[in-house]
């Protein structure tokens, strides 16, 4: 799913709740204004609670700790790109999410001795494709060679379609798929619909929130967790319909 920056922000928390609250405040003298304001403010609190953000992420990751055995043993490892960052005077490099995926993929490659494909196109017009940045990171920081680079995709669906074309050309139909656990459900949908037997190799399975008073107090990180979780659930719904 690729909503674009502005539509995505407006559909997902906390921005959707902020817009609802602002509309309610603007129309406070009309019948629907106060309920909209109350709903928007309640949503801002709800999605900022750690118990909400964490449990929404956990809901995405159900079953990943005990995945079904693949029909065919994996023949390659596919590592999905995530983000990049820019350093003053040094240019762009892989971001924290991508580094975590590279680290996990490198460990899996050492354990299995399978070839590695990295997938990810350009985030910005002036930066190299993420796949090229990942290949450099894997070689330099994890002593892991990359066999194939998919450098043209712009989202998870294209990661799958374009990677599958490369792998099929090399008679590969079964893979380990490396991405964050909260992203894995949508990634599996895309790669399986692209015709690959994908075995999840998730990064960072989240534990349920330990309930305590602070679990119900707003925290900025919980907004981010809620944002990613709802983004992923919407993406899963779209990929199911699209397939």
In a domain, 67, yes or no: no
pLDDT value for 88? 67
Task: Kindly report the three-state secondary structure assignment for every residue of the chain.
Answer: CCCCHHHHHHHCCCHHHHHHHHHHHHCCCCCCHHHHHHHHHHHHHHHHCHHHHHHHHHHHCCCCCCCCCCCCCCCEEEEECCCEEEECCCEEEECHHHHHHHHHHHHHHHHHCCCEEEECCCCCCCCCCHHHHHHHHHHHHHCCCCCEEECCCCCHHHHHHHHHHHHHHCCCCEEEEEEEHHHHHHHHHHHHHCCCEEEEEEECCCCCCCCCHHHHCCCHHHHHHHHHHHHHHHHHHHHHHHC
Residues 137 and 164 reside in one and the same domain: yes
pLDDT value for 14? 82
pLDDT value for 6? 53
CB 174 within 8 A of CB 75: yes
Residues 141 and 40 reside in one and the same domain: no
CB 14 within 8 A of CB 7: no
Structure tokens at 238: 């779209």
Does residue 113 come out as left (phi exceeding 0), alpha (psi in the -120 to 50 range) or beta? Answer: left
Residues 125 and 35 reside in one and the same domain: no
In a domain, 210, yes or no: no
pLDDT value for 8? 61
CB 91 within 8 A of CB 98: no
Would you give per-residue pLDDT tens digits along the chain (243 residues)?
Answer: 444 555 666 778 888 888 888 988 988 888 888 899 999 999 999 999 999 999 999 999 988 888 788 888 999 999 999 999 987 666 788 999 999 999 999 999 999 999 999 999 998 888 899 999 999 999 999 999 999 999 999 999 999 999 999 999 999 999 999 999 999 999 999 999 999 999 999 998 888 888 889 889 999 999 999 999 999 999 999 999 887
Number of domains, the chain: 2
Residues 42 and 11 reside in one and the same domain: yes
Residues 81 and 193 reside in one and the same domain: yes
* Residue 128 Cα to chain centre, angstroms: 20
In a domain, 68, yes or no: no
pLDDT value for 7? 60
In a domain, 208, yes or no: no
Full residue range of the structural domain in which residue 231 is found: 5-62+216-242
Residues 194 and 170 reside in one and the same domain: yes
In a domain, 211, yes or no: no
CATH number of the domain where residue 139 is located: 3.40.50.620
């Amino acid at each position: 799913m690729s909503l674009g920056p502005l539509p995505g922000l407006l559909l997902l928390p906390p921005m959707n709740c902020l817009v609802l609250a602002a509309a309610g405040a603007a129309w406070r003298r009309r019948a629907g204004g106060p309920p909209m304001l109350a709903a928007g403010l309640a949503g801002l609190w709800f999605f900022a609670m750690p118990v909400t953000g964490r449990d929404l992420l956990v809901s995405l990751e159900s079953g990943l700790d005990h995945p079904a055995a693949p029909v065919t043993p994996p023949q390659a490892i596919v590592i999905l790109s995530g983000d990049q960052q820019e350093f003053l005077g040094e240019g762009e490099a892989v971001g924290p999410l991508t580094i975590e995926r590279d680290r996990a993929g490198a460990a899996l490659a050492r354990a299995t001795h399978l070839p590695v494909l990295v997938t990810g196109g350009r985030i910005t017009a002036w930066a190299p494709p993420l796949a090229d940045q990942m290949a450099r990171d894997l070689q330099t920081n994890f002593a892991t060679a990359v066999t194939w680079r998919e450098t043209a995709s712009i989202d998870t669906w294209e990661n799958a379609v374009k990677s599958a074309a490369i792998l099929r050309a090399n008679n590969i139909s079964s893979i380990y798929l490396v991405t964050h656990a909260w992203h894995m459900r949508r990634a599996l949908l895309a790669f399986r619909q692209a015709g690959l037997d994908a075995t999840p190799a998730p990064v960072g399975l989240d534990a349920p929130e330990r309930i305590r008073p602070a679990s119900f107090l707003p925290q900025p990180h919980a907004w981010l967790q809620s944002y990613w979780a709802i983004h992923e659930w919407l993406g899963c719904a779209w990929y199911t319909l699209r397939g």
